[in-house]
């Protein structure tokens, strides 16, 4: 399809139909291509590193369902595990062996956690972890970082990243990033700057005794990729410990992606609570939160903090998660992902150097962002300096050449264990043409 504009007739028709029945035609805002313009591709099927859209165009996928598909799409063993579970019924509202199997796999990878509770999304995981931290400490305030995204719970839609960055949310210090979040809720969320130790120290020195928790992305994906400094990570741990606040690592994106034990293992961190999502469901709706028994003991039915879910621990979703984590443990893809990421980054850097376009690539393992600004990009303030018009050209240039990059400057691109030399070549060829 080189040089030929791909056909998008079916996607255009479906998008028009979708907009008459679904707000904006999508069930999650970033899918609507608002930040880059154009018509979102409707996807018909997926396998390995590839997606096929409704018009039959083959795309190399750098979204991976926004994180879960680390093994590539439609892995035969995951599909088979789902088929097996399917035959046994869909949902019982009673405990099953699969839940404890997945719990054991998660806890084995995170030895600092004793107990884990399953929910159905990353949003539910962070929301529940915050309630737990508040119940455990008896305090109301939480601290988050500008441009970090933790799902769409009210208290967390304050200076949030991901789709909210491209949509242009509120900017005042504790202004909600979304309409419908009461100012009174937003006032319980304090916002500090990622990689800025002084901003965190200032909050603790003013409000320390009232802070229940600090929640953070171990490596940020939702402002584009931002890499934490060692000093920042140390300050997070020291300040929370000193002031009796719960440190919550939001590993919904990074868990099982950056290492078997996620960002926490990679960075040598010791959080009090961890949130998971995405990969632990293998592409089905699963989230989880866990930590030391002392804190997790506050969750009902053990303790006074209520949290429940009709479909929590759903057997089909558990089956997908179990098989995914088993495959990751049997044949860890992390060295391969790192090699692919390194080659992709170096290839892109060569192209950028030749074109003279000011850009910075941030990458940790299989999470990568090409920021269209000179860099370095270590903070949210630096990330939002990026040239979003240049990004749009890059995005559409790639898409026309069969490479599906995330449709926003402020998102991480992901690749999978199914990405190899062929994908690398098409991607770099596409990037070379897109950046000309």
Ligand X SMILES: *Cc1c(COP(=O)(O)O)cnc(C)c1O
- Which residues, 32 to 51, sit near ligand X by CB under 6 A? none
Pick between residue 190 and residue 367 the one whose CB is nearest to ligand X: 367
- The active-site residue, picked from 34, 144, 278, 392, is 278
When asked if residue 150 is in the footprint of ligand X (CB under 6 A), the reply is yes
Answer for which of 46, 181, 233, 253 binds ligand X (CB under 6 A) is 253
Phi, psi of 419 (to 5 degrees): -85, 130
Catalytic residue at 250?
A: yes
Catalytic residue among 250, 272, 340, 392: 250
Give residue number: closest CB to ligand X.
122
Q: Cβ of residue 20: shortest distance to ligand X, in angstroms?
A: 25
The CA distance from 339 to 420, in Å, is: 10
Handedness of CA 225, 322, 303, 271 (dihedral sign): negative
- Asked if 60 is part of the footprint of ligand X (rule: CB under 6 A), the reply reads no
Work out the number of other CB atoms within 10 angstroms of the CB of residue 368: 23
C-alpha–C-alpha distance, residues 129 and 207, integer Å: 20
Stretch that binds ligand X, among 104-112, 145-153, 257-265, 302-310 (CB under 6 A): 145-153
User: Where does this chain touch ligand X (CB under 6 A) — which range of 107-115, 130-138, 247-255, 302-310?
Assistant: 247-255
Other C-beta atoms closer than 10 Å to the C-beta of 116 total: 23
- Terminal Cα distance for the chain, rounded: 18
416 is a contact residue toward ligand X (CB under 6 A): no
Give the binding range for ligand X (CB under 6 A) out of 87-95, 115-123, 137-145, 309-317: 115-123
Looking only at residues 256 through 275 of this chain, which bind ligand X when binding is defined by CB under 6 A?
Answer: none
Q: Among residues 141 and 252, whose Cβ is nearest to ligand X?
A: 252
Q: Which residue in 42, 110, 136, 149 binds ligand X (CB under 6 A)?
A: 149
Can residue 290 be called a binding residue for ligand X (CB under 6 A)? Answer: no
Q: Is 289 annotated as catalytic?
A: no
335: left (phi over 0), alpha (psi -120 to 50) or beta: alpha
364 binds ligand X (CB under 6 A): no
Site string for ligand X, 196-235 (x = CB under 6 A): ---------------------x---xx-------------
Q: How far is the CB of 143 from ligand X (least distance, A)?
A: 16
Q: Give the shortest CB-163-to-ligand X separation in angstroms.
A: 10
CA angle centred on 247, ends 246 and 249, rounded to 5°:
140
Scanning 9-17, 131-139, 246-254, 298-306 for contacts with ligand X by CB under 6 A, the matching segment is 246-254
Identify whether 144 is a catalytic site residue. no
Is 252 a binding residue for ligand X by CB under 6 A? The answer is yes
Cα gap 375→383, rounded to integer Å? 9
Catalytic residue numbers read: 149, 250, 278
Interface residues with ligand X (CB under 6 A) are 121-123, 126, 149-151, 217, 221-222, 250, 252-253, 277, 287
């Amino acid at each position: 399809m080189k040089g030929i504009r791909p056909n998008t007739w079916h996607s255009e028709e479906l998008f028009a139909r979708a907009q008459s029945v679904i707000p904006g035609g999508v069930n999650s805002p970033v899918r609507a291509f608002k930040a880059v313009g154009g018509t979102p591709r409707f996807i018909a099927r997926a396998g390995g590193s590839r997606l096929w859209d409704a018009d039959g165009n083959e795309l190399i996928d750098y979204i991976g369902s926004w994180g879960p598909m680390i093994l590539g799409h439609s892995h035969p063993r995951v599909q088979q595990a789902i088929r097996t579970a399917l035959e046994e019924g869909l949902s019982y509202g009673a405990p099953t062996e699969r839940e404890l199997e997945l719990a054991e796999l998660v806890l084995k990878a995170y030895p600092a956690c004793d107990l884990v509770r399953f929910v159905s999304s990353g949003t539910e995981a962070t929301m529940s972890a915050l309630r737990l931290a508040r119940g455990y400490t008896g305090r109301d305030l939480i601290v988050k970082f500008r441009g970090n995204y933790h799902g769409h719970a009210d208290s967390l839609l304050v200076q949030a990243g991901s789709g909210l960055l491209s949509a242009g949310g509120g900017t005042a210090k504790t202004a909600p990033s979304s309409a419908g979040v009461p100012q009174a809720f937003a006032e319980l969320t304090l916002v500090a700057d990622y990689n800025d130790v002084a901003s965190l120290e200032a909050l603790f020195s003013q409000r320390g005794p009232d802070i229940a928790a600090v929640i953070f992305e171990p490596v940020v994906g939702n402002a584009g990729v931002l890499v934490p400094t060692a000093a920042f990570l140390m300050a997070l741990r020291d300040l929370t410990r000193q002031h009796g606040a719960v440190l919550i690592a939001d590993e919904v994106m990074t868990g099982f992606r950056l290492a078997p034990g996620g960002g926490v293992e990679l960075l040598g961190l010791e959080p009090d609570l961890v949130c998971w999502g995405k990969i632990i469901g293998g592409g089905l709706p699963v989230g989880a939160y866990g930590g030391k028994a002392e804190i997790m003991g506050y969750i009902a039915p053990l303790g006074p903090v209520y949290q429940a879910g009709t479909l929590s621990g759903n057997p089909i979703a558990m089956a997908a998660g179990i098989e995914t984590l088993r495959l990751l443990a049997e044949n860890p893809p992390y060295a391969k992902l790192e090699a692919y990421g390194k080659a992709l980054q170096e290839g892109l850097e060569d192209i950028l150097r030749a074109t003279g376009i000011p850009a910075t690539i941030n990458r940790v393992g299989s999470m990568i962002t090409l920021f269209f600004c000179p860099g370095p990009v270590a903070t949210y303030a630096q990330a939002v300096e990026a040239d979003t018009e240049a990004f749009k050209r890059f995005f559409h240039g790639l898409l026309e050449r069969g490479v599906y990059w995330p449709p926003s400057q402020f998102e991480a691109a992901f690749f999978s264990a199914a990405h190899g030399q062929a994908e690398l070549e098409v991607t770099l060829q596409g990037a070379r043409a897109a950046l000309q």
